[in-house]
Amino acid sequence: MKAVCWMGKSKVETLTVADPQILNPHDAIIKITRTAICGSDLHLYDGFIPTMEAGDVLGHEFMGIVEETGKAVTNLKRGDRVVVPFTIACGSCAFCKKQLWSACDNTNPNAHLMEAAYGYSGSGLFGYSHMMGGYAGGQAQYARVPFANVGPLKIESDLPDEKVLFLSDIFPTGYMAAENAQIEPGDTVAVWGCGPVGQFAIASAFMLGAGRVIAIDRLPERLQMARSIGAITVDYSEEDVDVLTALKDLTGGMGPDSCIDAVGLEAHSSDLKGLYDSVKVALLLETDRPIVLRQAIQAVRKGGTLSIPGVYGGLLDKVPFGAAFGKGITMKMGQTNMHKYMKPLLNRIQQGQIDPTYIISHRITLDEAPDMYKIWRDKKENVTKIVIDPWATKQAA
């Protein structure tokens, strides 16, 4: 089959590799009909996530048709259409039972690597480094899906693939970010980063009762998209714009009730603090660039909540923990507990509350994927979301 492989930092290739096979009784093989490139894939592209290995198949947002099932799979049969969550969960460990699906105990074959770095291992993920399980990803024509009774969400309506594809990661991730923000009716919520997760965090904040959402980014097409669903926008790159001042100006000096960092470890900044982090990362003195995190801790109101869906991987420097303590803020974060959100969010889509396709900017083939990684990383061609048809041979309209 064809698959998009990580071949080193800033190097991605579409190669012909072996087809996946059933390895365990609860496995299923999915023939992938739609897949996507995630903003977090750019962290892999840029070499920020350790334990990627040349040859690893990328991709963790995918859906398709069940092709084959292992002998213990009872929920699915050949021909079913499913969306696959990017976190793999067993459904029977103590964490799955608590709905902390992304903390599953039994799905990371390389748990020892993550234990060394984080103390304990989270669940395995598709296509996201050996530390996170080493599972081959879904930017491919087929994928092996473990614990198929637990993860894949069956789509029985005639909704087109594109409308449900983002249930595989970014819609639930944006939704959990808004849920973690502990929004009370009428609250003001600030969202850093208006990429796909930020967009769904904005949409979800409104769905969960926010009165005002303030969206912060620098790319005009993303800010426009945020305005299109009702957010106030702040372009931090505009001359004389100071985000903290802007947020005070927009909240009567009180600060947002909740702040959502939908940027994560590769934040950009035009000021000196940004340069400081770039230098430290280059010298391996720091792994992440926590520019947004610092700003959000400063910005949130006293007793407010900071929700962090943006990915952080390692060690952060100069995090103003005194401000966090001094204001008594709550911080909530983590990989998305996918399995908890997929069905309720599918219902919202089916009821017409939201059409997630509004974020799609590019539709491509597998062969075009390597170029698109570069184009997106370099923030060219106004990319917001790239969807791949793994069976298309030339670019669709």
Which letter does DSSP use for residue 301 in this model? P
Q: Which residues are CB-contacts of 376 (< 8 A; sequence separation ≥ 6)?
A: 37, 42, 383, 386
- Least distance to other proteins, CB of residue 1, Å: 7
**Cα dist. 34→27, 65, 145, 160, 274 in Å?**
20, 10, 15, 10, 36
Chain residues 127-156 in contact with other proteins, contact rule CB under 8 A: 130, 133-136, 140, 144, 146-147
Residue 126: closest CA among 152, 149, 100: 152
Cβ at position 41, least distance to other proteins in Å:
16
According to CB under 8 A, which one of 103, 111, 148, 190 is a site residue for other proteins?
111
Distances (CA, A) of 311 to 261, 360, 395: 9, 21, 31
Segment interacting with other proteins (CB under 8 A) among 13-21, 39-47, 163-171, 199-207: 13-21
CB of 334 to other proteins, least distance (A): 20
CB of 16 to other proteins, least distance (A): 9
Which residue, 133 or 172, is less far from other proteins as judged by CB? 133
Figure out which of the listed residues 35, 40, 87, 107 binds other proteins, where binding follows CB under 8 A.
Answer: 107
Q: In this structure, how many other beta carbons lie within 10 angstroms of the beta carbon of residue 254?
A: 13
Q: Which residues are CB-contacts of 42 (< 8 A; sequence separation ≥ 6)?
A: 266, 373, 376, 377
* 251 CB neighbour count, 10 Å cutoff: 17
Closer residue to other proteins in complex, CB, 27/169: 27
**Least distance to other proteins from the beta carbon of 10, Å?**
16
Among 42, 65, 93, 207, binds other proteins (CB under 8 A): 93
Q: Under a CB-based contact definition with an 8 Å cutoff, are residues 363 and 390 in contact?
A: no
Q: What is the DSSP string of 264-315?
A: -TB---SSHHHHHHHHHHHTTS-S-B-HHHHHHHHHSPTT-EEEE-S---S-
Residues of this chain, 54-83, that bind other proteins according to CB under 8 A: 54-57, 68-73
Across the beta sheet with 362-365, what order do the strands follow?
A: 142-145, 28-37, 386-389, 362-365
Task: By CB under 8 A, name the one of 10, 92, 157, 382 that touches other proteins.
Answer: 92
Here the tokens at position 278 are 């770039």
Please, what is the minimum distance in Å from the beta carbon of residue 24 to other proteins? 4
By CB under 8 A, the count of residues binding other proteins is 54
Work out whether 197 is an interface residue with other proteins (CB under 8 A).
no
Backbone angles phi, psi at 185, to 5 degrees: -50, 130
Q: What is the smallest separation between the CB atom of 368 and other proteins, expressed in angstroms?
A: 17
Smallest distance from the beta carbon of 54 to other proteins, in angstroms?
4
Site track 18-47 with other proteins (rule: CB under 8 A), x = hit? xxxxxxxxxx--------------------
- DSSP states along 314-332: S------HHHHHHHT-EEE
Residues lying near other proteins in the complex (CB under 8 A): 1, 3, 5, 7, 13, 15, 17-27, 51, 53-57, 68-73, 90-94, 97, 105-113, 124, 130, 133-136, 140, 144, 146-147
